[in-house]
Structure 1
Amino acid sequence: MQLSNEEEDYNLSLSKFESMLKTNKVLFFDSEEFEEIILHYLDIGKANLAKKALKLALDQHPKSTGLKLVQVEMLVYDDKLEIAEKLLNELYAIEPNNEEIYIQKANICSKRDQHEKAVELLKIALQYTDDYADVYNLIGMEYLFMDNLEMAKDSFIKCLEEDLEDQSALYNVVYCFEFLDQNQEAIVYLNEYINKNPYSEIAWHQLGRLHYGVKEYENAIRAFDYATLIDDEFLGAFMEKAKAYERLKKYSEAIESYNRTIELDDATSYALLRIGKCYEKLGNAVKALQYYNQTVHEDPLLDKGWIAITDFYVRQKNFQKALFFVNKALAIDNQNRLYWKRYATINKQMNFFEEAEFGYRKAVEFGDYALDTWLFWVDILQFLGEFESAIQTLLQASEYFPEENEIEYRLAGLYFMIQDNTKAKFHLSNGLRLNFDNYILIEDLFPVVWTKKMVKNYIEKHRKQ
């Protein structure tokens, strides 16, 4: 690829400057060359070289406004705001119409969290600048700092009206639309933008994301297709397209897109995991397991990979292997309520009731307050003969489900089991009131209680009411 004359001159200036530093010979550069050299070193994070270049530059061009403005930028970068402000005031007295002075003053105000004042200064800069896009972008950023997303959005849109190619402004305008929960408006805006700039892969990708967000998966795929046609190495677009295909249950197409991401970059555990899930949906258990194993090989600390293998073996009813892999996941994240619930369910299937009880207890401890979790836990406590613990657990559950007949019937049964007939009748009455027909829970879960004539009579009495 041939370099333009400007790029050649720029590279030449850098080489000449670095050669000068090595030989200690002082060579002459014009002020613009120095500006480019200083800004290059700042951009790549070599502040010391930038400072050396600035010192030499000011020695050779002590009256250059451009270099003094670069000096201001470096002072602001070093948080020497008072010195920078003083220098700016001196420059303002000489060149009151220089937009860069207002931009740097705004930068100082922004550093001091004076964002409204920064916007005022940037609006003055608009009167003198030729680069409207840059100033509108800066105004947009100040509004973001103030959490004024509407004004930020308007500023980024104005920036894009001046410079369609400004990718950071494009990302920011979409961010504002999304933050304001204006996804449909964002879609309309991006379609208008694409009419003006149809070869922007970023715009197509963002449009795809927005369609995906509002569950318009076909439209999302169409947008991602355009993004990948413009840039056939756009990894993010292939990844998003694969997710959209999954939503549409087009698993073969999803696999193809995920595979493309692996061709473009090293295999990610996420892509491998999704491919495994797609193969499982297609009924190809061998391929699914192969990709799940690759997932955990790629990233042994990815708990979701171990859980995918766990769920695979649960569906195969191979609970011994499922238990092995759920323990792997818990070794990585032992505070995950969903993993503990799986652990409990698997142990229950294998008739390891004490381990199952422990699993349900941990699931609740880490925030699983689903009704079935409480009920599974209580039924195991009852099976283990721990009636008092089962009662306490149900009373705790009733705080989350105060009008749940399944809890009331179980409390009734348990109180009958410990001979507390008064409380038993109270909860049986509640259960019958909430769902009369479900009294069969007593017969199913508490056969000993069901044999009591008193219980059957109590139920019959309620039936007649």
Structure 2
Amino acid sequence: MPLEPNERSGQPIAKFESMLKTDDIYFFDAEDFQDIIHHYLNNGKIALAKKAIKIGLQQHTDSVELKLLSIEVMVFENNLEQAEAMLDELQLIDSSNEEIFIQRANIYSKKDNHEAAVSLLHHALNLTEDSFDIHSLLGMEYLFMDKFEEAKNNFMKCVSFDEQDYSSLYNVIYCFEFLEDYDGAILYLNDYLERNPYSEVAWHQLGKMYFPKKLYKEALVAFDFAIISDDSFIGAYFEKGKVLEKLGRYEEAIENYDITISMEDPTSYAYLRIGRCYEKLNKDEEAKSYYYRTVHEDPLLDKGWLAITGYYFRQKNYDKALHYINKAINIDGENAKYWKKCARIHSVLKNNDEAYYAYQQAVELGNYEFDTWFHWADVAVQNLDVHAAIQILTQGQEFYPQTCEMQYKMAGYYLLISDYPRAQYRLINALKIDADKLHLFKDEFPQFYNTEWVTNIIEEVKKASR
């Protein structure tokens, strides 16, 4: 039943929505309109907010607050020129209204001029004692500018105003984490927990800060307290499972991942972690089952396909391993480690051309690991392209200049193409770096090891080092 126009209702939103369904026009205080508009904006109902603004301005044509809400919607919808024009008009009327400068700051932020936005927000701070929202906006602007220390300080002020503002608390910890100041984060969270001992969010974040410091027992205690504070906190069970994995307590880790699955729809990540636990327990069939559940739940999770690849590689079923690593590459073709795994599988299958290409892709995508250069060079030699192998190791040597392994291998490769001066140079370098690893050369190039030429070089280096 529609409310009477003159009824003093404690539910302006219900009254407003009732009005929209009728031809009646109800009168609202400007403050009521502000409450109605904020309600719709907070719930993402922009069209209803705009209706309320329109009717509100019809009833209260001079309301600066309603005009500012109209500007807020304009900024949200990227009608920036129109918003700036209205702000110019309002500033002539009320130059000390901090909300005018906040909206101007929002406009500059939209234009990626974050320095100007920060300047305006600082000006707004000088105009009001209610600074909570402004510090929150400043924190975000500093994040955009990668000024994490300044962002952290502003979010800390938000938390000091309202310790239940978990959004700001998360942002504080994010800044600590980006700055890799885990000790600072731990100190801050422990101080926070002194005042809020049952904050599951803070316990959860504290556990996550202990984790990169490898303080696994302390992390476990923190996650346990998070669960005590809220036994339905799925994130705490999941993180606790990860800690238990690190401690080698795989059965317990599985139990915690299972709890997350029982509480909510199963996630591919939970299945993947369970599969890895079974793999560590040497229960390959169970591991395989959960890996398949992973990709069934999320076919685009490349790590799931990689896990299946690893399973079949360990089973020496290289054809299936190749099939599944290609699925991972199809999802993330920019992942160097996937290309390296692909190259390894092709190499085992003697698909030398494909292996060579895959190693090349891995290096081009930034995988400069020591064994990548070695295996790529080996593939080139198997393709009877020793010159390419030498070039590969020459590149690799730039990253590992003081490793004898590359020098011994390059000496052997130069001997394969009868380039004795360069072979001598590499062999002498290798012996000077580590003569005790001469067996590497002997094992890989036995056809050269016992030759008089090599024996003489070895003896010369030994004499020189005495």
Paired with 2:431 and 2:304, the residues of 1 have a C-alpha distance of 45
Give the direction of change, closer, same or farther, for the CA distance of 1:192–1:21 in structure 2 (3 Å limit).
same
Cα drift, residue 170 of structure 1 = 1.9
Q: Which residue of 2 aligns with 1:430?
A: 429
Q: Is the 8 A contact 1:157 1:173 kept in 2?
A: yes
Paired with 1:426 and 1:68, the residues of 2 have a C-alpha distance of 80
* 1:277 and 2:276 matched: yes
Cα drift, residue 277 of structure 1 = 0.2
Cα drift, residue 292 of structure 1 = 0.8
Q: Which residue of 2 aligns with 1:86?
A: 89
Q: Which residue of 2 aligns with 1:172?
A: 171
User: Which amino acid in 2 is paired with 1:119?
Assistant: H
Comparing 416-425 with 250-259, which one deviates more in the overlay?
416-425
Q: Which residue of 2 aligns with 1:224?
A: 223
Q: Which residue of 2 aligns with 1:36?
A: 35
Q: Which residue of 2 aligns with 1:160?
A: 159
Q: Is the 8 A contact 1:73 1:104 kept in 2?
A: no
User: Which amino acid in 1 is paired with 2:176?
Assistant: F
Cα drift, residue 451 of structure 1 = 4.9
CA deviation profile, 1:40-81 (whole Å, cap 9, x unmatched): 233333434323322322333345555455445445554312
CA deviation profile, 1:158-211 (whole Å, cap 9, x unmatched): 433332222223223323333444322222222222222223222222222222
Q: Is the 8 A contact 1:310 1:323 kept in 2?
A: yes
Paired with 2:300 and 2:420, the residues of 1 have a C-alpha distance of 52
Q: Which residue of 2 aligns with 1:102?
A: 98
Q: Is the 8 A contact 1:272 1:291 kept in 2?
A: yes
Paired with 1:411 and 1:63, the residues of 2 have a C-alpha distance of 84
Paired with 1:141 and 1:383, the residues of 2 have a C-alpha distance of 55
Q: Is the 8 A contact 1:228 1:238 kept in 2?
A: yes
Paired with 2:416 and 2:395, the residues of 1 have a C-alpha distance of 19
* 1:251 and 2:254 matched: no
Cα drift, residue 308 of structure 1 = 0.9
User: Which amino acid in 1 is paired with 2:311?
Assistant: F
Comparing 251-260 with 165-174, which one deviates more in the overlay?
165-174
Paired with 2:328 and 2:217, the residues of 1 have a C-alpha distance of 35
Q: Which residue of 2 aligns with 1:268?
A: 267
Cα drift, residue 149 of structure 1 = 4.3
SS state of the match for residue 209, structure 2?
Answer: helix
CA deviation profile, 1:267-300 (whole Å, cap 9, x unmatched): 2211111110011112222211110111122222
Q: Which runs of 5+ in 1 are unaligned?
A: 1-7
Q: Which residue of 2 aligns with 1:203?
A: 202
Match of 1:125 among 128, 135, 141: 128
Q: Which residue of 1 aligns with 2:240?
A: 241
Percent identity reads 45
TM-score by length of 2: 0.85
Give the direction of change, closer, same or farther, for the CA distance of 1:44–1:260 in structure 2 (3 Å limit).
same
SS state of the match for residue 326, structure 1?
Answer: helix
Give the direction of change, closer, same or farther, for the CA distance of 1:422–1:162 in structure 2 (3 Å limit).
closer
SS state of the match for residue 23, structure 1?
Answer: coil
Paired with 1:76 and 1:279, the residues of 2 have a C-alpha distance of 52
Which aligned pairs between 1:38-57 and structure 2 lie closer than 5 A?
38-57=37-56
Paired with 1:348 and 1:167, the residues of 2 have a C-alpha distance of 51
Q: Which runs of 5+ in 2 are unaligned?
A: 1-7, 109-115
Paired with 2:284 and 2:259, the residues of 1 have a C-alpha distance of 22
Cα drift, residue 257 of structure 1 = 1.6
User: Which amino acid in 1 is paired with 2:128?
Assistant: A
Which aligned pairs between 1:56-455 and structure 2 lie closer than 5 A?
56-62=55-61, 64=63, 66-71=65-70, 73-74=72-73, 77=76, 78-79=79-80, 80-91=83-94, 101-112=97-108, 113-126=116-129, 129=130, 133-134=132-133, 136-138=135-137, 140-141=139-140, 144=143, 149-455=148-454
How many residues matched?
A: 446
Q: How big is the alpha-carbon RMSD for the aligned residues of Structure 1 and Structure 2?
A: 2.9
Q: Is the 8 A contact 2:71 2:103 kept in 1?
A: no
Q: Is the 8 A contact 1:323 1:343 kept in 2?
A: yes
Comparing 242-251 with 27-36, which one deviates more in the overlay?
27-36
Paired with 1:149 and 1:168, the residues of 2 have a C-alpha distance of 16
Paired with 1:53 and 1:327, the residues of 2 have a C-alpha distance of 55
Give the direction of change, closer, same or farther, for the CA distance of 1:89–1:205 in structure 2 (3 Å limit).
farther
Comparing 65-74 with 398-407, which one deviates more in the overlay?
65-74
SS state of the match for residue 282, structure 2?
Answer: coil
Comparing 198-207 with 138-147, which one deviates more in the overlay?
138-147
CA deviation profile, 1:75-131 (whole Å, cap 9, x unmatched): 555431231242244245xxx6xxxx22333332453324224213223301xx4xx
CA deviation profile, 1:253-272 (whole Å, cap 9, x unmatched): 21122112222222221111
TM-score by length of 1: 0.85
Q: Which residue of 1 aligns with 2:111?
A: none
Q: Is the 8 A contact 2:101 2:120 kept in 1?
A: no
SS state of the match for residue 324, structure 1?
Answer: helix
User: Which amino acid in 1 is paired with 2:119?
Assistant: E
SS state of the match for residue 440, structure 1?
Answer: helix
Cα drift, residue 143 of structure 1 = 5.3
SS state of the match for residue 24, structure 2?
Answer: coil
Paired with 1:142 and 1:370, the residues of 2 have a C-alpha distance of 38
